[in-house]
């Protein structure tokens, strides 16, 4: 959770620093981050696949299979990042401009967003490697090493953003370029340090020469729905951002700020619970104890609702105060408080979704979270915001409602899937296939 807090703080710092430039700069970084989520989705997808196999094989004692899954996932992540380097360099500015009819390639938002995107995409292979390596080590039962590496990485990123973005001391004033450079440096540092940790003796995990296609197929079978979920989520966020821009750049900037405030306050716990649940449920399944795996999943979900729900109450009543740290524009601040309050209301169901989705992932089921999340976005986030906000004319308040509907819908679907328990049989079948069942050679 410390790691997640600092990672979220890093993104919060990006928004805070760009907020000192202009609302257009906040919107530029926010829109660029839409594209930056594409490689992030690949890294998280492969990370989901490898943490499932790594935790299961650690629990069953099949360490050779575990190390092969880790090696394959890291190699796949590095190769998958190369196309993004090309895209960012040649198409960054154009990519920002096509998001909304209100933007042109020559506009300030598109220009700044394109520069930022090109810089962070240049280190996509390193970002993939860092994400996959961290999940690999965590699945093996070591959460300290990824935390230590990412604490240093995020600290470098935060300091770099402030110093280079604002030109403090002898550093040059690089504006949005400095924010991008700081992120890129953090990505490279994390990747190199985590790979060195796996290669050396600092973690239980290790590298081996890949030879088993069964592991490759299972890794991709678990990762593919998670990657698809990420891609579809990102794709659906483009029309959602167009709806936000329909009401003005200040509304889009307010959404970025409101969501960032919510994520900074609640996401460290939510993501920490998800990672912890994935490890515990996966290792318990690997040990051949599905009853305890199911119990652990529900227990973690209950803890998440209690703690994150409490933070949501704090955010709801303090929304105006929290967002005031990011902007002094009255209109932007008012809308941002509304978005923060909407996310606060959704906090209990959001963490329930996140934790149970993590448990399902370690149970080799990534299709249920995919269906729940995408259908929730279509019906809630897009449907309610467009019909209520534009067609019926309720405006921005309809977008607030759409956030709550989205997470409520997705959570109900995932909770039903976890309760039914098909993920238990799927895990056992896949472990049998790759020879990781306890007692097998």
For 42-60, letters b (16+ CB in 10 Å) and e give bbbbbbbbbbbbbbbbbbb
Per-residue pLDDT of the chain (441 residues; tens, 9 = 90+): 566 666 666 667 777 788 778 878 888 888 888 888 889 899 999 999 999 999 999 998 899 999 999 999 999 999 999 999 999 999 989 999 988 777 777 788 889 999 999 999 999 999 999 999 999 999 998 989 999 998 899 899 899 999 998 998 888 888 889 999 999 999 999 999 999 999 988 899 999 999 889 999 999 999 999 999 988 998 898 899 889 988 988 898 899 889 989 988 898 889 889 989 999 999 999 999 999 999 999 999 999 999 999 999 999 999 999 998 887 788 889 999 999 999 999 999 999 999 999 999 989 999 999 999 999 999 999 999 999 999 998 999 999 999 999 999 999 999 999 999 999 999 999 999 988 887 654
Q: Which two tokens stand for residue 120?
A: 């962070």
CA 285 to centroid of chain Cα atoms = 25
**Helix, strand, or coil here: 121?**
helix
The C-alpha atoms of residue 323 and residue 427 are separated, in whole angstroms, by 44
DSSP 256-324: HHHHHHHHHHHHHHHHHHHHHHHHHHHHHHHTT-HHHHHHHHHHHHHHHHHHHHHHHHHHHHHHHHHHT
Q: Which two tokens stand for residue 208?
A: 């081996």
Question: What pLDDT does residue 253 have?
Answer: 86
The C-alpha atoms of residue 236 and residue 253 are separated, in whole angstroms, by 18
Question: What pLDDT does residue 38 have?
Answer: 87
Question: What pLDDT does residue 56 have?
Answer: 93
The C-alpha atoms of residue 418 and residue 257 are separated, in whole angstroms, by 33
Question: What pLDDT does residue 441 have?
Answer: 45
For the chain, the maximum distance between any two Cα atoms, rounded to a whole number of angstroms, is: 66
Question: What pLDDT does residue 137 have?
Answer: 95
């Amino acid at each position: 959770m410390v790691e997640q807090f600092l990672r979220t703080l890093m993104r919060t710092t990006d928004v805070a620093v760009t907020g000192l430039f202009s609302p257009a700069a906040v919107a530029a970084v926010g829109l660029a981050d839409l594209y930056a989520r594409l490689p992030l989705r690949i890294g998280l997808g492969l990370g989901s696949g490898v943490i499932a196999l790594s935790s299961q094989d650690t629990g069953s004692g099949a360490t050779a299979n575990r190390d092969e899954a880790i090696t394959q996932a890291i190699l796949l992540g590095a190769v998958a990042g190369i196309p993004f380097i090309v895209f960012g360099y040649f198409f960054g500015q154009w990519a920002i401009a096509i998001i909304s009819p209100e933007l042109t390639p020559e506009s300030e938002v598109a220009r700044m967003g394109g520069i930022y995107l090109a810089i962070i995409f240049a280190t996509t292979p390193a970002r993939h490697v860092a994400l996959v390596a961290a999940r690999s080590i965590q699945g093996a039962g070591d959460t300290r090493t990824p935390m230590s590496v990412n604490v240093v990485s995020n600290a470098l990123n935060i300091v770099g953003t402030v110093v280079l973005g604002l030109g403090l001391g002898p550093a040059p004033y690089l504006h949005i370029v400095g924010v991008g450079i700081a992120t890129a440096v953090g990505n490279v540092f994390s990747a190199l340090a985590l790979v060195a940790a796996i290669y050396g003796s600092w973690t239980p995990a290790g590298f081996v020469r890949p030879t088993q296609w069964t592991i490759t197929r299972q890794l991709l079978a678990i990762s593919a729905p998670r990657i698809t979920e990420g891609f579809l989520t990102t794709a659906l966020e483009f029309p959602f951002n167009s709806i936000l821009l329909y009401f003005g750049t200040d509304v889009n900037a307010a959404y970025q700020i409101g969501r960032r405030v919510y994520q900074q306050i609640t996401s460290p716990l939510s993501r920490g619970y998800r990672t912890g649940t994935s490890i515990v449920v996966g290792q318990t399944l690997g040990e051949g104890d599905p009853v305890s795996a199911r119990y652990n999943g529900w227990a973690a979900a209950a803890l998440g609702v209690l703690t994150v729900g409490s933070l949501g109450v704090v955010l709801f009543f303090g929304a105006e105060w929290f967002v005031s740290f990011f902007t002094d524009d009255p209109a932007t601040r008012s809308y941002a408080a509304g978005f923060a309050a909407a996310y606060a209301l959704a906090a209990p169901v959001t963490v329930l979704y996140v934790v149970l989705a993590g448990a399902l992932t370690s149970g080799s089921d990534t299709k249920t979270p995919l269906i729940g999340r995408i259908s929730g976005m279509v019906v809630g986030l897009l449907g309610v915001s467009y019909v209520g906000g534009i067609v019926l004319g309720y405006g921005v308040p309809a977008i607030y409602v759409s956030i709550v509907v989205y997470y409520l819908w997705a959570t109900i679907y995932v909770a039903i899937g976890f309760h039914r328990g098909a993920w238990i049989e799927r895990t056992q079948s896949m472990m049998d296939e790759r020879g990781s069942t306890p007692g097998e050679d």
